[in-house]
A and B are shown apart, each in its own frame.
Chain A
Amino acid sequence: MKAEAPKDQPLIELIGVGKNYPLANHSADRLAALWDLLRGRPIRRTRNILHEIDLRVLPGCSFGIIGENGAGKSTLLKLITGVLRASQGSVKTRGRIGALLELGAGFHPDYTGRENIGLNAALVGLTQAEILVKTPEIIAFADIGEYIDEPIKHYSSGMVVRLGFAIIAATTPDLLITDEVLAVGDESFQKKCVKWLENYVASGGTLLIVSHSMYHVQKLCQQAIWLNNGTIEKSGDVYEVTQAYLAFHERKTADGTITDRAAVDGDRFRIDSLSINGSEQATTVIKMGADLHIQGIVYSPDERTPVVVIGIVRADGTPVYGTSSEIDSARLGNIDANHFAFKLVLEDIPLLPGAYTIRSHAMDPEGVRLFDTLTLDFVVSGETRELGFCRLPHHWVDSPGSDTTDH
């Protein structure tokens, strides 16, 4: 193995990186592009795929890349692995980089498994002598029998992954780039891989993972970036980034049928203001388990006290909880004849991290007709991998069944 790399030097450093693809569907465009290249000029007709990407991956600090399809994740990986050259900015990498991607990283379809082992081992920097030593080990790990001397194009996808993983396991790169590829193999092989990955990370290996599974990203990474339309939408702590990404998706899928205040004409019951923990902006972030103070002012046209309904829904519109001043027999505070103040406190909110919306409604004093809706978004943050949207009180019984007094 190589000498231990200094811990403070990044394995990957991208500064202001951009990448464009030429628009070249016609021969004329391709010729023009060729001419530009030969003169050393930038290609004229291009489309930008990535803009201004900054990224620093330190040894031992695994990194997740999330984003929708077409956001530029694959292009970013290709820039990091050196398959592509950046159109702008600088890409610096250090150490051995191995890639294990679903589509068979670096395999030539016409080459046999054995030949591809040699090729890939040379690509990560092994000498001919080292390759000779490692090849039997790789073949044993891959465990694909006589297929090792068949061209890769005759392999099943599971066999390709086996071979790819065997090469990675034998060459132990400083940085391993991967995606949900391991889901392809069969049960026993997956176990083998997971065990290896855990050892790898535990012994100081660094992962760069592209995944649509926030669960995996949160489990394996300390940091993450969210790519959106070729730019970094958010980067930093893995929980912050994944939660912001999930919140974005929940909002996107919400159908947005809530009628806005425009429907409220003139002199009706209405909510005049609404705030969460003192803020009227939709940017409030509350730590899971903190208190939620919802307050506002409701207007009454006839000086009678209206009923206020407050509900919490997830960003996609799923109701979580709702109550009203009428249900709880709460008394509103008179500000003047027509304005009433309300304040609701939810203690230790058990909501799991994600984006939520407070909906407040003004109803007539009888609590029959609903006149107005005012909403306010907020985000619950926290570092947890629990599932669902609310933490239910629970506890695990230690070693149930092993104790005779347990029933």
Chain B
Amino acid sequence: MNLAITETMRQNWSLFIIFLRREFTGQYLGSVTSVGWALIAPLVMLAIYGYVFGEIFKVRFPEADAVGFLGYLALGMWPWIAFSESISRAIKAVKGNAALVHKTALPHEIFVYSTVLATFLTHLAGYAAVMLVLALMGKPLVWLMLPLVLYFMLLVLLLALGLGLIVAALDVFLNDVEHGVPLMLTMWFFSTPILYSPSLLPEGVLPYLNLNPMAYIVVNIREAMLIGHWTPGWIDGVALLASIGVFIFGRWFFNRCSPRFEDFL
């Protein structure tokens, strides 16, 4: 019995590796710079936001003084891009593999995991590259805190996997997901303090900010890298449990639906 289980796990791992590799080679297949696009697109966005808000609107707040508006923006933007891109691509993870769902008996979760992980890792690499640039520019960042940033990125991954599983399953039943989710992600982006600092928010909103897990993550990453202190509190425990909870709920949701995917695709 145990043998059969490990055998299945080994087989699923092989499949996962195949799909993950395919995600990397297939994602930007046919484009000249290949994976480069994954790094270029956020850079262009960074330039646009930096110019519009930093130069035209001349947004100023004390937190950004040390690294400049662009550096401040970059620290918050990559975690968000890793999160939102992962979810956007997860929407089609099952539907895009309909041909396989109809003909093969593989665990459908693999489609979501490979899609999300490939996207996430690409942007994590982008994040590392941006950090390197900031370091070369001599920005005063607290490099000792990098492992903590990785920990927060792990929370991002858990959230992206959990939500990715849900949207991928939902998309099998409802086409609306493809239109609704990107819109929701845009709203989520602007309600997360990425382009601005929480200090610019109205007093009444601040206590509720941590209800947005991405706000919690972005704010904490910036504090760690800019100020360099982080004292764990009960909120951090809640955040960790909530992230794991989202992932577990996503799995439950997905696996409830997945035996019937073939019927609805």
Other-chain residue from A38, A82, A109 in contact with B253 (beta carbon distance below 8 A) = A38
| Cβ contact within 8 Å between B18 and A82 | no
| Cβ contact within 8 Å between B103 and A115 | no
CB 8 Å contact bits of B1-25 with A (1 = contact, 0 = none): 0000001001100110110001000
Q: Assuming A22-B263, A38-B256, A83-B262, is B102 touching A125 (CB within 8 A)?
A: no
Within 8 A of A (CB), among B99-121: 99-106
Interface of B is mostly: helix
Q: What residues of A have a CB within 8 angstroms of the CB of B102 in the complex?
A: 83
Q: What residues of A have a CB within 8 angstroms of the CB of B99 in the complex?
A: 107-109
| Cβ contact within 8 Å between B259 and A33 | no
| Cβ contact within 8 Å between A31 and B10 | no
| Cβ contact within 8 Å between B256 and A21 | no
How many Å from the CB of B108 to the closest CB on chain A?
11
CB 8 Å contact bits of A92-119 with B (1 = contact, 0 = none): 0000000100011111111100010011
Question: Which residue, A99, A108, A128, has most C-beta atoms of chain B within 10 A?
Answer: A108
Q: Assuming A30-B173, A115-B22, is B7 touching A83 (CB within 8 A)?
A: no
Question: Which residue, B17, B174, B260, B262, has most C-beta atoms of chain A within 10 A?
Answer: B260
Q: What residues of A have a CB within 8 angstroms of the CB of B259 in the complex?
A: 85
| Cβ contact within 8 Å between B260 and A22 | yes
CB 8 Å contact bits of A162-176 with B (1 = contact, 0 = none): 000000000000000
| Cβ contact within 8 Å between A111 and B264 | no
Counting chain B residues whose Cβ lies within 8 A of the other chain, the interface size class is 20 to 34
Asked if B26 is an interface residue, CB under 8 A from chain A, the answer is yes
Q: What is the bound-complex CA distance between A127 and B7, given in angstroms?
A: 10
Other-chain residue from A21, A82, A119 in contact with B263 (beta carbon distance below 8 A) = A21
| Cβ contact within 8 Å between B15 and A122 | yes
Within 8 A of A (CB), among B132-180: 170, 173-174, 176
Q: Which residue of A lies closest to B4 (CB)?
A: A94
Asked if B34 is an interface residue, CB under 8 A from chain A, the answer is no
How many Å from the CB of A401 to the closest CB on chain B?
51
Asked if B97 is an interface residue, CB under 8 A from chain A, the answer is yes
Q: What residues of B have a CB within 8 angstroms of the CB of A38 in the complex?
A: 253, 256-257
How many Å from the CB of B131 to the closest CB on chain A?
33
How many Å from the CB of B27 to the closest CB on chain A?
12
Q: What is the bound-complex CA distance between A40 and B101, given in angstroms?
A: 21
CB 8 Å contact bits of A21-45 with B (1 = contact, 0 = none): 1101001001101100110100100
Q: What residues of B have a CB within 8 angstroms of the CB of A346 in the complex?
A: none
Counting chain A residues whose Cβ lies within 8 A of the other chain, the interface size class is 35 or more
Q: Assuming A106-B100, A125-B7, is B105 touching A37 (CB within 8 A)?
A: no
| Cβ contact within 8 Å between B257 and A22 | no
Q: Which residue of B lies closest to A104 (CB)?
A: B103
How many Å from the CB of B200 to the closest CB on chain A?
40
Question: Which residue, A37, A40, A111, A131, has most C-beta atoms of chain B within 10 A?
Answer: A37
Q: Which residue of A lies closest to B103 (CB)?
A: A106
| Cβ contact within 8 Å between A125 and B260 | no
Q: What residues of A have a CB within 8 angstroms of the CB of B103 in the complex?
A: 83, 99, 103-107
Q: What is the bound-complex CA distance between A33 and B22, given in angstroms?
A: 33
Q: What is the bound-complex CA distance between A81 and B170, given in angstroms?
A: 25
CB 8 Å contact bits of A131-169 with B (1 = contact, 0 = none): 100000000000000000000000000000000000000
Q: What residues of A have a CB within 8 angstroms of the CB of B106 in the complex?
A: 123
| Cβ contact within 8 Å between B22 and A37 | no
Other-chain residue from A24, A119, A122, A128 in contact with B264 (beta carbon distance below 8 A) = A24
Q: What residues of B have a CB within 8 angstroms of the CB of A84 in the complex?
A: 262-263
Question: Which residue, B10, B97, B104, has most C-beta atoms of chain A within 10 A?
Answer: B104
| Cβ contact within 8 Å between A123 and B15 | yes
Q: What is the bound-complex CA distance between A81 and B100, given in angstroms?
A: 13
Q: Assuming A106-B103, A110-B26, A125-B11, is B260 touching A37 (CB within 8 A)?
A: yes
| Cβ contact within 8 Å between A111 and B14 | no
Other-chain residue from A115, A123, A127 in contact with B104 (beta carbon distance below 8 A) = A123
Q: What is the bound-complex CA distance between A99 and B103, given in angstroms?
A: 9
| Cβ contact within 8 Å between A83 and B105 | yes
Q: What is the bound-complex CA distance between A37 and B259, given in angstroms?
A: 9
| Cβ contact within 8 Å between B257 and A34 | yes
How many Å from the CB of B144 to the closest CB on chain A?
38
A-B contact pairs, 23 of them (CB 8 A): A27-B174, A27-B176, A30-B174, A31-B174, A33-B173, A33-B260, A34-B174, A34-B257, A37-B260, A38-B256, A43-B260, A81-B105, A82-B105, A105-B103, A106-B104, A110-B26, A115-B22, A118-B18, A119-B100, A122-B11, A123-B11, A126-B14, A131-B14
Q: What are the 3 A-B residue pairs with the smallest beta carbon separation, nearest first?
A: A82-B105, A122-B14, A106-B104
